[in-house]
Structure 1
Amino acid sequence: MIKIESLKKFFATKIAVDDLNLEVPNGVVYGFLGPNGAGKTTTIKMIVGMLRQDQGKIEIDGVDTLYDPIEAKKKFAYVPDNPDIYDNMTARQYINFIADVFKLSLEKRNENIKKYAEIFEMEENLDATISALSHGMKQKIVLIGALIHEPKLLILDEPMVGLDAKSSFRLKNIMREFAERGGTVFFSTHVMEVAEKMCDEIAIINKGKLIAKGTLEEIRASAKDSGSLEKIFLELTE
C-alpha cells in the first residue's frame, strides 16, 4: 500500500530523513516508532503531501505522490498529531465538508456520522462550534472525518494523544477491524505497549535513519535484548 524508496529530507544542513526505504503491505496495522525528533512526523508529512521530499520516491497503492498527488490523496485519510481544524465551523459542518471533498452520498455520510459519533460519544457535540471543544473532542472529530469516507489507508500521527481511555480502546478496535477488512493502518506512537499489542509489523527510525523493521518476532530475534518492545526500542535507539 505504501512504498518508500531512498527518501531524504533536509532542513538547511540537517538531514531529517536519511535514505529511508520502507514497504507497508495491505491489510496490516503498521507501527512507525522512534524517539522525539527521529523523523517520524517529517516522513508522514511527506507521505501525505504536506512536505515535498528532496530525494526519493513515495507511492500509495501504486500512485506516485509527487507526480499524481490528487489521485494519491483519494486513497487515504490522515490524522495529524495536533487537531488544528476550522474553529468557526461546527463539528457536523467539518465532517460534512470532508464528506463533500470525497463526494460521499448523503445517505452514506449520515449513516457513518451516526455510527462514529456513537462510538466516540460525540452525539451531543456535533452541532457545537469546534472552538468550544476540548483537545480530546477535536481529536475525535478529526478521527470521524478520517473514517467517514472509508479510505483504503489510514495514516495516523500519534492518534491516541488527548483521547480518554474508552475512546483509545475503541479506536484500537477500529484500527484492528479496518485491517481485518483489507485496509491498511500506518501510525506513529510513543507508547510501546500499544505498538506491541496492536501492530502486525513495525519500523523503528532514529536520527532520520531506519534502524529496524519487520514483525515483532523478527525485530526481537535481531536484538540483543529479547524482552519487551520497550526494552528492544531503548537498546536500538540508545
Structure 2
Amino acid sequence: MPEHVEHAESTDRTATAVPAVRVEGLWKRFGDQIAVAGIDLELPAGKFIGLVGPNGAGKTTTLSMVTGLLRPDMGRIEVGGHDVWRDPVEVKSRIGVLPEGLRLFERLSGRELLAYTGRLRGLPGAEVDKRATQLLDVLDLAGAQHKLVVDYSTGMRKKIGLAAALLHNPEVLFLDEPFEGVDPVSAQTIREVLVRYTRS
C-alpha cells in the first residue's frame, strides 16, 4: 500500500512526547484482496498530517481501523498511548472523526444535531450550547443553525460534521476526504479551522 505522509502545521513538542497515533504491523485482508499490508506509522501530536495515495490504496480502510470502526487482521494501534482495541471507550472519548460518506440525522437542525451529539458524549447542556455557538460561528453556519440538515448543501454538511467531531474538544481528529465535494469558500473555512485546531 504505497502511502505518503505529509506534515503541514506543527508546534514545538519534546522528543519524549507520546505520539498522537502509533500503528505497528497493520494488516487487513478482504478475501483474497490485501487492503492494508503491514503499515507502520508514528504520528506526533501537534501536527496536521495527511495520508495520501491513489484510489484503492487502503487509506479509508486504515483510517477505519485506527478509529476503531474496523478490526485489523494483525497489528497494534495506539491513540494517545491507549490501545484502540483493548481500551476502545477511552480512545473514542479522545478522538473526533469526520468519516467519508458522512451520515447525519437529517431531520434535526444544525444546532439540534450538535446538542444531540454533545449529550451523547456526556457533556453538560450549558457546555454543549456554548461550544455549539462557537463552532457554528467559526464555521460560518450561525445563519443556518435552525435549518434542517436535510436542506444543507454538501459544504454545509461537511462543516456541521466537522463541528460535531470537534464539539468535545478531542485530542486527535481524523478526517476522511474533508474537502471532497466542498466549494472553495467552505474548503478555505474548514482549512482555517483545522490549522487553528492544530495550533491549539
Q: Same fold per TM (> 0.5)?
A: yes
C-alpha deviation, 1:64, in angstroms: 0.9
Equivalent residues in 2 for 1:67-146, closer than 5 Å: 67-146=86-165
Question: TM (normalized to structure 1)?
Answer: 0.72
| CA distance in structure 1 between the aligned counterparts of 2:182 and 2:50, rounded to whole angstroms | 18
TM-score, normalised by the number of residues in structure 2: 0.85
Alignment-mate amino acid for residue 104 of structure 1 = L
Matched length: 181
Paired with 1:21 and 1:125, the residues of 2 have a C-alpha distance of 42
Pair 133,173 (structure 1): closer, same or farther in 2 beyond 3 Å? closer
Question: Is 1:12 matched up with 2:31?
Answer: yes
Give me the identity figure in percent: 31
Is 33-42 or 116-125 further displaced after alignment? Answer: 116-125
SS in 1 for 2:75: strand
Measure, in 1, the Cα distance between the counterparts of 2:47 and 2:121: 24
Larger RCO, structures 1/2 (Cα 8 Å, 6+ apart): 1
Runs (4+) of structure 1 moved beyond 4 Å? none
Q: CA RMSD in A?
A: 1.4
Is 1:36 aligned with 2:58?
no
Question: If you compute each CA radius of gyration, which structure gives the higher value, 1 or 2?
Answer: 1
Q: Structure 1: 5+ residue runs without aligned partners?
A: 182-238
Aligned to 1:232: none
The structural deviation recorded for 1:166 is: 2.3
Amino acid at match of 2:143: E
SS of match in other structure, 1:42: helix
C-alpha distance in 2, partners of 1:50/1:78? Answer: 11
Q: After superposition, what is the alpha-carbon deviation per residue over 1:130-150, rounded to whole angstroms, capped at 9, x for unaligned? A: 222222221111011111211
Give the deviation of 1:101 after TM superposition.
2.3
Which structure 2 segments of 5+ residues have no match? Answer: 1-19
Q: What amino acid sits opposite 2:109 in the alignment?
A: T
